């Protein structure tokens, strides 16, 4: 069997979609640190994609730059995915721990992130007629990531293929529920905050007045 | 006591001064137009801009000297009780050869003829030589609610020939002008007695007319949805011209699906989806006919440019993206419900398109490429402020002036182009002719006056693209957010770069390849050791 450094394992997993995760799991490898860096890079990729895509391809509304949606679309979505998947699969005989799900999923994102960076880079040097190059790179990265993600979930929980697809579908639904509850929670807390803030203002008026 | 008096007087004086000061302030603040000029940027956001037109004057019946009609001493005298104001005027037409205006004064059932300064020189209550709706006293065949007027000049006699859409008399009159107040009817176009027409409409109430250079008459009839009604030079009905398409809405799609399953009886009971008719049209110097559709918020075929075959030549891949009127999100500064009803269109001699929106009282001015130049005018139901309309019915463009006729306030408002407008028009005209470089100077003048005017940057970009100054072109295209043109400039720029540095690039590539090959060989021979990041020293266990 193989013996790699942590980065070496990452490379191994990415370039061996079939048995990479099996080896990773067998050797009980995978680094949380690297996983977090990957998620951070995903966020940066989103920002780069919006801000640095060549002018002729950039469809973003450049007058306002709001980082919050990008943050939500990358980091928040990722962790919701992890939590939703864990919460669901522990109930359905999944063997994955939350740490492993996080690491394996993050590793699967690397081709997508690399594809994004590359296509953004290329977009600055090509014209619209050659846009196909940019798109090919982007979609190859995306497709590769999808394959890896399915493998990651399959291996981490030791599922069969149909079970994996099913669990992914349910995970997406669970993500929606979690996000909905989060929004609800935030708005509730906001109301609490508004309530407290108004009491505070009221009091300050009393004392001043 | 005296000191108190003094104090009171002092107060009075200071109060008076303050009052007069505020009064003067108020006056100065109203010196500008009663609306904000704006334009749309690449994202469809409103950008306030300089005015291209300012309100020049408002001309009422009195200023047009319509009093002459009721003045027995005048040679234009009609009768003592002839109305001396406009009433529900619905069309204004400018005849270029004689420099005369023709106004359809619909409410008073007459056609007015004025000179270039809108001073009355003729009035026509009806025509001679016709048997329709004859007034027993005068023997004239009178007009009844004439809503459209078009004038051409007879080449032989050089007399004006007027075409009048005599709405309530259900006819279009062709009449030869004989004097200041009489015209002889030479032809009447009446309801065609053909099955084709009967299928389209039971009535014939023409609202607007137009003649092309070959003498073919086009009539807008509001009950006909299949396009303009066309008559040949002898008055024979020949067909319809340039119908609108049905606007695809959810209801239309639903019905189309239902039709697949419904029985014949059910289909018969369904309402038919017919396109909306167009409200008005104009012909340009090249013989293209432009139509506008007044139906609220029409997005399909709101404005069309028709070729002689009746096809919309803007209906191409690019033309489908052409937008006219206000964008829904921003249309409204004063009313809460967006609605846009384009009621009249006029093509100026330089090809500039002016469209009048009845609902907002705004005039939208476009180039032939659908670049929005200016938006001006506004609607106001409460006060008689200059530059505001209540029922804007017709628009006409003459040189640097735009005339808008109002059917409720019964006046004509004239707008005159500002210096800013002059530069924009000059540049746009040069641009239209393809003289991009000559347009650089006026575009720069435009930018001096309004740095937010995107079209100017686009024009400059085009100019520099033409001269081969691609860097500059790219810079300007970036400012005007014209991605397609930027792309082209970038392509040329890149081609230039590759051509100029071809040798250098080849040399660098060659050197790189050789270097890589050499280093690889050295590594293989073990003369260079790379720090191992990826692989740990090799297989330990097993």
B81 within 8 A of B72, measured Cβ to Cβ? no
Q: Does B272 touch chain A (CB under 8 A)?
A: no
pLDDT of residue B73: 87
Q: Which residue has the tokens 């210096």?
A: B419
Q: Residue B3: left if φ>0, alpha if ψ -120 to 50, beta else—which one?
A: alpha
d(CA B372, CA B41): 10
Mean pLDDT of chain A, nearest integer: 92
Q: How confident is the model at residue B26 (pLDDT cuts 50, 70, 90)?
A: very low
d(CA A127, CA B490): 7
pLDDT at A108 over 90: yes
Pick among B490, B493, B505, B532 to test the A interface (most A CBs inside 10 A): B490
Q: What is the percent of chain B where pLDDT is above 70? A: 87
- Beta carbons of B490 and A63 less than 8 Å apart: no
d(CA B89, CA B395): 11
pLDDT at B32 over 80: no
Domain ranges of chain B: 50-417, 418-529
Q: Residue B377: left if φ>0, alpha if ψ -120 to 50, beta else—which one?
A: left
d(CA B249, CA B451): 40
pLDDT of residue B351: 87
The string of pLDDT tens digits covering residues B415-424 is: 999 999 999 9
pLDDT of residue A65: 92
Residue of B nearest to A62 (CA): B43
pLDDT of residue B531: 65
Pick among A3, A61, A64 to test the B interface (most B CBs inside 10 A): A3
Model pTM above 0.90: no
Mean pLDDT of chain B, nearest integer: 84
With vertex at residue A11, the alpha carbon angle to CA A10 and CA A16, rounded to the nearest 5 degrees, is: 105
User: CA of A111 to nearest chain B CA: how many angstroms apart?
Assistant: 17
d(CA B313, CA A67): 44
The string of pLDDT tens digits covering residues B326-344 is: 776 655 554 455 677 888 9
pLDDT of residue B4: 67
pLDDT of residue B158: 84
- Beta carbons of A55 and B483 less than 8 Å apart: yes
- Beta carbons of B534 and A7 less than 8 Å apart: yes
pLDDT at B540 over 70: no
Q: How confident is the model at residue B474 (pLDDT cuts 50, 70, 90)?
A: very high
d(CA B416, CA B403): 9
Which member of B45, B491, B539 has the closest CB to residue A3? B539
The string of pLDDT tens digits covering residues A126-169 is: 999 999 999 999 999 999 999 999 999 999 999 999 999 999 99
Residue of B nearest to A60 (CA): B43
Handedness of CA A72, A77, A78, A79 (dihedral sign): positive
Which member of A11, A128, A129 has the closest CB to residue B534? A11
pLDDT at A187 over 90: yes
User: CA of B493 to nearest chain A CA: how many angstroms apart?
Assistant: 11
Q: What is the percent of chain A where pLDDT is above 90? A: 78
Q: Which residue has the tokens 């907002």?
A: B360
Q: CATH number for the B418-529 domain, one of 1.10.101.10, 1.25.40.10, 2.40.30.170, 3.40.50.2000?
A: 1.25.40.10
The string of pLDDT tens digits covering residues B259-296 is: 888 888 888 887 777 778 888 899 988 889 998 888 76
Q: Does residue B344 sit in helix, strand or coil?
A: strand
pLDDT at A70 over 90: yes
Do B50-417 and B418-529 share a fold?
no
Question: For domain B50-417, which architecture applies?
Answer: 6 Propeller (2.120)
pLDDT of residue A159: 93
- Beta carbons of B491 and A5 less than 8 Å apart: no
Rg (CA), chain B: 32
The string of pLDDT tens digits covering residues B69-94 is: 888 888 888 888 888 888 889 999 99
Q: When comparing pLDDT for B2 and A17, which is higher?
A: A17
pLDDT of residue B42: 82
Secondary structure of B445-512 in HEC code, one letter for each residue: HHHHHCCCCHHHHHHHHHHHHHHCCHHHHHHHHHHCCCHHHHHHHHHHHHHHHHHHCHHHHHHHHHHH
Q: How confident is the model at residue A7 (pLDDT cuts 50, 70, 90)?
A: confident
d(CA A164, CA A161): 5
pLDDT at B388 over 90: no
Q: When comparing pLDDT for B323 and A105, which is higher?
A: A105
Least reliable range by pLDDT among B25-29, B131-135, B514-518:
B25-29
pLDDT of residue A201: 93
Residues 35-94 of B with CB under 8 A from A: 43, 45
pLDDT at B309 over 60: yes
pLDDT at A178 over 60: yes
Which member of B486, B533, B534 has the closest CB to residue A55? B486
Q: What is the percent of chain B where pLDDT is above 90? A: 31
Q: How confident is the model at residue A47 (pLDDT cuts 50, 70, 90)?
A: very high
pLDDT of residue B345: 92
With vertex at residue B433, the alpha carbon angle to CA B467 and CA B293, rounded to the nearest 5 degrees, is: 130
Residue of B nearest to A57 (CA): B483
pLDDT at A195 over 90: yes
Q: How confident is the model at residue B533 (pLDDT cuts 50, 70, 90)?
A: low
Q: Of the segments A158-167, B186-195, B244-253, which one has the largest average pLDDT value?
A: A158-167
- Beta carbons of B494 and A125 less than 8 Å apart: yes
Average pLDDT over residues B115-119: 90
d(CA B363, CA B191): 34
DSSP string, B516-532: HHHHHHHHHHTSS----
């Amino acid at each position: 069997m193989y013996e790699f450094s942590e980065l070496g394992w990452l490379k191994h997993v990415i370039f061996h979609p079939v048995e990479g995760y099996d080896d990773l799991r067998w050797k009980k490898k995978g680094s949380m640190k690297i996983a977090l860096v990957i998620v951070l890079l995903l966020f940066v990729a989103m920002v780069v994609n919006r801000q640095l895509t060549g002018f002729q391809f950039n469809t973003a509304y450049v007058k306002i730059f709001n980082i919050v949606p990008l943050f939500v679309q990358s980091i928040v979505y990722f962790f919701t995915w992890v939590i939703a998947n864990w919460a669901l699969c522990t109930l359905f005989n999944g063997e994955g721990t939350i740490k492993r799900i996080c690491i394996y999923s993050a590793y699967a994102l690397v081709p997508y992130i690399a594809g994004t960076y590359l296509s953004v880079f290329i977009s600055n040097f090509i014209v619209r007629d050659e846009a196909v190059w940019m798109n090919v790179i982007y979609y190859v990265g995306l497709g590769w990531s999808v394959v890896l993600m399915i493998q990651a979930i399959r291996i981490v929980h030791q599922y069969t293929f149909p079970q994996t697809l099913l669990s992914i579908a349910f995970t997406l639904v669970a993500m929606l529920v979690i996000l909905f509850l989060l929004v609800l929670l935030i708005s509730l807390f906001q109301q609490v905050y508004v309530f407290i803030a108004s009491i505070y203002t009221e009091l300050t008026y009393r004392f001043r007045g | 006591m005296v000191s108190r008096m003094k104090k009171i007087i002092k107060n009075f004086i200071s109060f008076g001064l303050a009052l007069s000061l505020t009064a003067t302030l108020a006056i100065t603040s109203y010196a500008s137009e009663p609306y904000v000029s704006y334009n749309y940027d690449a994202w469809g956001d409103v950008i306030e801009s300089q005015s291209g037109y300012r309100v020049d004057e408002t001309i009422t019946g009195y200023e047009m000297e319509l009093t002459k009609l009721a003045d027995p001493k005048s040679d234009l005298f009609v009768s003592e009780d002839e109305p001396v104001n406009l009433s529900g005027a619905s069309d204004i037409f400018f005849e270029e050869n004689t420099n005369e205006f023709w106004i359809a004064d619909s409410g008073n059932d007459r056609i007015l003829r004025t000179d270039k300064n809108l001073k009355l020189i003729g009035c026509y209550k009806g025509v001679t030589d016709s048997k329709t709706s004859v007034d027993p006293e005068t023997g004239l065949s009178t007009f009844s609610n004439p809503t459209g007027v078009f004038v051409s000049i007879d080449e032989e006699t050089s007399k004006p020939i007027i075409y009048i859409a005599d709405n309530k008399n259900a006819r279009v009159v062709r009449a030869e002008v004989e004097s200041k107040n009489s015209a002889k009817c030479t032809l009447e176009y009446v309801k065609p007695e053909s099955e084709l027409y009967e299928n389209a409409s039971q009535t014939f109430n023409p609202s607007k007319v137009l003649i092309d250079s070959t003498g073919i008459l086009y009539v807008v009839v509001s009950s006909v949805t299949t396009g303009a009604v066309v008559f040949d030079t002898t008055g024979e009905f020949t067909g319809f011209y340039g119908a609108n398409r049905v606007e695809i809405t959810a209801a239309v799609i639903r019905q189309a699906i239902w039709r697949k399953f419904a029985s014949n009886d059910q289909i018969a009971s369904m309402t038919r989806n017919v396109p909306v008719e167009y409200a008005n049209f104009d012909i340009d110097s090249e013989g293209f006919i432009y139509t506008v559709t007044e139906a609220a918020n029409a997005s399909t075929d709101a404005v069309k440019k028709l070729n002689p075959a009746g096809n919309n030549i803007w209906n191409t891949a690019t033309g489908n993206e052409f937008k006219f009127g206000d964008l829904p999100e921003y249309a409204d500064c004063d009313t809460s419900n967006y609605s846009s009803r384009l009621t009249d269109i006029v093509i100026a001699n330089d090809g500039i398109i002016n469209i009048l929106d009845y609902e907002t009282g705004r005039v939208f001015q476009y180039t032939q490429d659908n670049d929005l130049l200016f938006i001006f005018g506004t609607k106001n139901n409460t006060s008689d402020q200059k530059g505001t309309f209540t029922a804007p019915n017709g628009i006409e463009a003459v040189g640097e002036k735009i005339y808008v006729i109002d059917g409720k306030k019964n006046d004509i408002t004239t707008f005159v182009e500002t210096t800013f407008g002059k530069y924009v028009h000059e540049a746009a005209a040069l641009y239209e002719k393809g003289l991009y470089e000559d347009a650089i100077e006026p575009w720069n003048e435009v930018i001096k006056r309004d740095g937010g005017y995107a079209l100017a940057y686009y024009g400059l970009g085009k100019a520099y693209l033409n001269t081969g100054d691609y860097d500059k072109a790219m810079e300007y295209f970036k400012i005007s957010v014209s991605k397609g043109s930027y792309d082209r400039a970038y392509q040329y720029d890149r081609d230039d770069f590759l051509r100029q540095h071809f040798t250098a690039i080849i040399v660098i590539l060659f050197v790189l390849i050789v270097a890589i090959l050499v280093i690889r060989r050295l590594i293989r021979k073990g003369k260079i050791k790379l720090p191992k990041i990826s692989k740990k020293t090799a297989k330990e266990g097993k």
